[in-house]
Structure 1
């Protein structure tokens, strides 16, 4: 019986089977990662916006609209332009935000 045990230990096909098992686990982990990522998921029909490092100079905005993915990177400069005040936003005690537009009267 000892002869049968030694042949199983030296069988090269067993190491190939183990390698295939490892690759199957890696592929399953990659598929789960792609399925959970809203930007990479081919099954997602929704538009997605992801903001990384919000408020920092390294801030990035990534938008997915249908099949198209756009990436915007903050330049770190302060924006400026022509415009006028459109209203006032208030933060309530419960944390919600209320926007009150200006009516244009009294200007």
Structure 2
């Protein structure tokens, strides 16, 4: 009779204790929190917080190199243009041949490379 009392005393009646899926749900919640924290860390690390704002912007990656990219955001639309891609340039490729400067009086000066 004594053994029966011990078994009754240590028997769990909670539904959560008997549910084997409860641990998986906790892991899923943890993975969501980890993914959001990782995205926030990457955005702040690479200085791309402009993408999350409501302002329009343009960003140039690798300026003056062959793999230069121009990323523009207007409203909710984000467009990416690669300098080496020929689909938007009418099928032709080009190269940088100089630099143009606009002075305060509106005059433009071109300096070939």
**What TM-score, normalized by structure 2, do the two folds share?**
0.46
Higher-Rg member (1/2): 2
Task: Determine which structure has the larger helix proportion and give its number.
Answer: 2
**What TM-score, normalized by structure 1, do the two folds share?**
0.48
